[in-house]
Amino acid sequence: MDLEVVEQVAELGAWVADGGVVILSGAGLSTDSGIPDYRGPSGSARRSTPMTYQTFTRDPIARRRYWARSHLGWRTIGEARPNDGHRAVAELQRRGLVGGIITQNVDGLHQAAGAGDVVELHGNLARITCLDCGDLTPREHLAARLDAANPAFDAAAIAINADGDAELDDTDLDGFLVVDCDSCGGMLKPDVVYFGETVPPQRVERSFALVEDARTLLVLGSSLTVMSGRRFVLRAVKEGIRVAIVNRGVTRGEPYAGLHVDAPLGIVLPNIVDALSTVSPAKTGV
């Protein structure tokens, strides 16, 4: 890290040491776990249009294509493991310096690293919901059923997106069979928020409550391009809560941030943990 970044990290460490930190995380936090983001330096350019709820529910062909891509993408997402950034966040929470975590990610890696009080704004790919009976089942169960229904499916992904949707050649999608709910025969869907859906109000309300009780809103790995995450930054500014951002590259939150550290999360966050190794866990504030 160059001198300017070292000084920024030291200042951010002082903010974290005050306690009362709420995390807002995006896809950039999971890139070191092998999950690419959309817009950062390690991101993959999405070539296909993101699935909308309306298309998924109304178009059987589009739904089949989605499940073929998602089934392949799950092999990457499902095998991903927390990285140093996730572990650092969990450690700061264990010490009482970080309270709640708001994540835009659907990979479950915060919890896998040991973090608690995580608001999953957009859901979690590890869960499958039935749109008819509401039954929730593990993704591993569906993956096994899809493998059994498609024994010859051996497509290779061109790229994997952060939402677990793989990019495939159209010829690899032919003949893929979709399975329905084991309980009622209804339509299955990953328990995530698609384009065209809204984030459940209780998640939004819980997130706003976390932000309003914070001393610092710390944004990790998000370009804040969409309002789904940026609204929490705007609320923090409105409430006079300081905002810090650690992200590779430009973000739409820069005009609102008291600190913007453009450096790898897997270096910055463990550095802060190490620097605060003597901080008392009694300092919380959230």
pLDDT tens-digit readout, 174-187: 789 999 999 999 99
Whole-number Å distance between alpha carbons of 92 and 272: 9
> What's the whole-number mean pLDDT along residues 25-39?
87
Whole-number percent of the chain with pLDDT over 90: 77
Q: Are 25 and 104 in contact, with CB atoms under 8 Å apart?
A: yes
Angle, vertex CA 139, rays to CA 112 and CA 175, nearest 5: 140
Domain count, the chain: 2
Do 181 and 267 reside in the same domain of the chain?
no
Please pick, among 71, 86, 110, 122, the residue that the annotation labels catalytic. 122
276, two tokens: 């605060």
Torsion region of 118: left, alpha or beta (phi above 0 gives left; psi -120 to 50 gives alpha): beta
Do 74 and 87 reside in the same domain of the chain?
no
Higher-pLDDT residue of 276, 171:
276
Tell me if 135 is assigned to a ligand binding site: no
The residue out of 192, 217, 243 marking a domain boundary is 192
Do 75 and 163 reside in the same domain of the chain?
yes
Domain that holds residue 100: 1-35+83-122+199-286
Do 182 and 64 reside in the same domain of the chain?
yes
What CATH number corresponds to the domain at position 57?
3.30.1600.10
For 213, residues 6+ apart whose C-beta sits below 8 A from its C-beta are 20, 22, 99, 286
Please, what sign has the CA dihedral across residues 204, 210, 215, 219?
negative
Q: Note if 122 is an active site residue.
A: yes
Query: Which among 22, 42, 44, 100 is positioned nearest to 264, based on CA atoms?
Result: 42
pLDDT tens-digit readout, 46-98: 455 778 999 999 999 999 999 999 999 998 899 999 999 999 999 999 999 99
Tokens 């609204």 belong to 231
> What's the whole-number mean pLDDT along residues 127-154?
96
Torsion region of 236: left, alpha or beta (phi above 0 gives left; psi -120 to 50 gives alpha): alpha
Q: Is 108 helix (H, G, I), strand (E, B) or coil?
A: coil
> What's the whole-number mean pLDDT along residues 106-110?
97
Tell me if 133 is assigned to a ligand binding site: yes
Instruction: Indicate if the pLDDT at residue 140 is higher than 60.
Output: yes
Task: Note the pTM of the prediction, 2 decimals.
Answer: 0.90
The residue out of 192, 207, 227 marking a domain boundary is 192
22, two tokens: 């709420």
Higher-pLDDT residue of 216, 284:
216
209, two tokens: 């409550």
217, two tokens: 């809103």
Do 181 and 71 reside in the same domain of the chain?
yes
Q: Is 247 helix (H, G, I), strand (E, B) or coil?
A: coil
The residue out of 192, 227, 242 marking a domain boundary is 192
Buried b (16+ CB within 10 A) or exposed e, 200-226: eeebbebbbebbeebbbbbbbbbbbee
Q: What is the pLDDT of residue 48?
A: 58
Q: Are 121 and 128 in contact, with CB atoms under 8 Å apart?
A: no
DSSP state of 224: -
